[in-house]
């Protein structure tokens, strides 16, 4: 296990949501690139959005910028061969992480679920974004939150990218001077946020999970969590219940009926009753599928790729940016409070009166989830 990344002061953090806001900002950053662009993303599918990204990446190469792209092989399965060819023909260095193979069996389960856009060693974007049309559709777009990061933590994200690139058996093709991470100097781009990069790879090496549990135990005022796939571990459930019982405001903002994996939602709903009885507030987002992955415990924030489901904790390569800053925490809290207005706030008594069919679905998919945990 690699040594954890340290807390670093002097970062600048900007929240960007939804896709109509963060995608233009990311593409504009690519257009400003002078030396290199690093892109690592899990979910990629051919469509209007991916073609737009390819256009900007190719244009960057044509003006002399070095572009390196890392896609997960499974997550990019819907990227058409002609789109891959456009990237490679333009001179973009491209690797697909852990190509699927019938002989690998369990090794196929390990996926690179991280999301990163990094430009010139100075600006990084992370969150739960993917290069698919679902994130920027005119209606019913997947709702996401992305951060723009500048400061010393950018260098850590770049180091992590090259580690994963080597894990995918890629050889760096940048000039040495371009590969060297260079933190932002104190100046107009320097910020006041303390931050650190935290990673996860496998159940026994999951720093993101351990850090979240530590912050939940330390919380004294508020806890807000949102995740698209809420199938929490026993330790996480117990930590949330304990926090609510000691007087902390605990809020869970979760997907409603609009979700890409309904069985996962039903499996997680089997935990609602006990959480509600302990005083945890649960909201289900109604307008579209909420895909954001954000944690807030007092003035501590974590935003990145990691979901609160068994699959992600067990198999995926994940990465989150943690932030300690009351000002940024206030912005994240405001985002939660605003998003809550579009949610169904579950009433504990009404939840206990839910239909028999709802209870059956929770039981059946909960049984499937429990069996999957025993077989892993």
Residues 6+ apart with CB under 8 A from 219: 243, 248, 297, 298
What CATH number matches the domain at 198-375, 3.40.50.450, 3.30.870.10, 3.20.20.80, 3.40.50.300? 3.30.870.10
Tell me the mean pLDDT in the region 70-88. 95
Mean pLDDT is highest, among 206-215, 283-292, 305-314, for 283-292
Mean pLDDT is highest, among 3-7, 107-111, 309-313, 332-336, for 332-336
pLDDT grade, residue 139 (50/70/90)?
low
- Please indicate whether the domains covering 8-191 and 198-375 agree at the CATH topology level: yes
pLDDT grade, residue 294 (50/70/90)?
very high
Domain ranges of the chain: 8-191, 198-375
User: How many CB atoms are closer than 10 A to CB 143?
Assistant: 23
371, pLDDT greater than 90: no
Q: 128 burial class (0-12, 13-18, 19+ CB within 10 angstroms)?
A: buried
Say if CB 314 and CB 192 are below 8 A apart.
Answer: no
Tell me the mean pLDDT in the region 115-125. 97
pLDDT grade, residue 372 (50/70/90)?
confident
CA 225/CA 272 separation, integer angstroms: 14
Residues 6+ apart with CB under 8 A from 360: none
Architecture of domain 8-191: 2-Layer Sandwich (3.30)
CA 335/CA 250 separation, integer angstroms: 16
Give the pLDDT confidence of 235-264 residue by residue, as tens digits: 999 999 999 999 999 999 999 999 999 999
């Amino acid at each position: 296990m690699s040594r954890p990344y340290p807390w670093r002061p002097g970062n600048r953090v900007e929240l960007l949501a939804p896709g109509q806001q963060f995608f233009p900002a990311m593409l504009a950053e690519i257009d400003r690139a002078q030396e290199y662009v690093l892109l690592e993303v899990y979910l990629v599918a051919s469509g209007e959005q991916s073609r737009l990204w390819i256009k900007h990446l190719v244009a960057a190469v044509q003006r002399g910028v070095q572009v390196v792209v890392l896609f997960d092989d499974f997550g990019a399965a819907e990227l058409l061969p002609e789109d891959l060819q456009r990237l490679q023909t333009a001179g973009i260095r491209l690797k697909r992480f852990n190509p699927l193979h019938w002989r690998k069996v369990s090794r196929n389960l390990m996926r690179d679920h991280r999301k990163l856009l990094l430009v010139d060693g100075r600006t990084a974007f992370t969150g739960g974004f993917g290069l698919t049309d679902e994130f920027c559709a005119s209606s019913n777009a997947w709702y996401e939150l992305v951060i723009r990061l500048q400061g010393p933590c950018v260098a850590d994200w770049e180091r992590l990218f090259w580690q994963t690139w080597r894990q995918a058996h890629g050889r760096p093709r940048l000039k040495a001077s371009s590969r060297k991470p260079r933190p932002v100097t104190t100046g107009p781009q320097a910020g006041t946020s303390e931050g650190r990069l935290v990673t996860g790879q496998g159940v026994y090496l999951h720093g993101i999970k351990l850090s979240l549990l530590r912050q939940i135990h330390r919380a004294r005022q508020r806890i807000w969590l949102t995740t698209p796939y809420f199938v929490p571990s026993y330790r996480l459930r117990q930590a949330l219940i304990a926090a609510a019982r000691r007087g902390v405001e605990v809020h869970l903002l979760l997907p409603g009926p609009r979700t890409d994996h309904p069985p996962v939602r039903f499996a997680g709903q089997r935990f609602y009753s006990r959480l509600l009885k302990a005083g945890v507030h649960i909201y289900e987002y109604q307008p579209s599928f909420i895909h954001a992955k954000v944690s807030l415990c007092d003035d501590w924030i974590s935003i990145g790729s990691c979901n609160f489901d068994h699959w992600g904790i067990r198999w995926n390569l994940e990465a989150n940016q943690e932030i300690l800053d009351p000002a940024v925490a206030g912005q994240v809290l405001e985002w939660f409070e605003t998003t809550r207005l579009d949610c169904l706030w579950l009433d504990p008594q009404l939840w206990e009166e839910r239909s028999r069919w709802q209870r059956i679905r929770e039981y059946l998919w909960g049984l499937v989830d429990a069996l999957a945990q025993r077989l892993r």
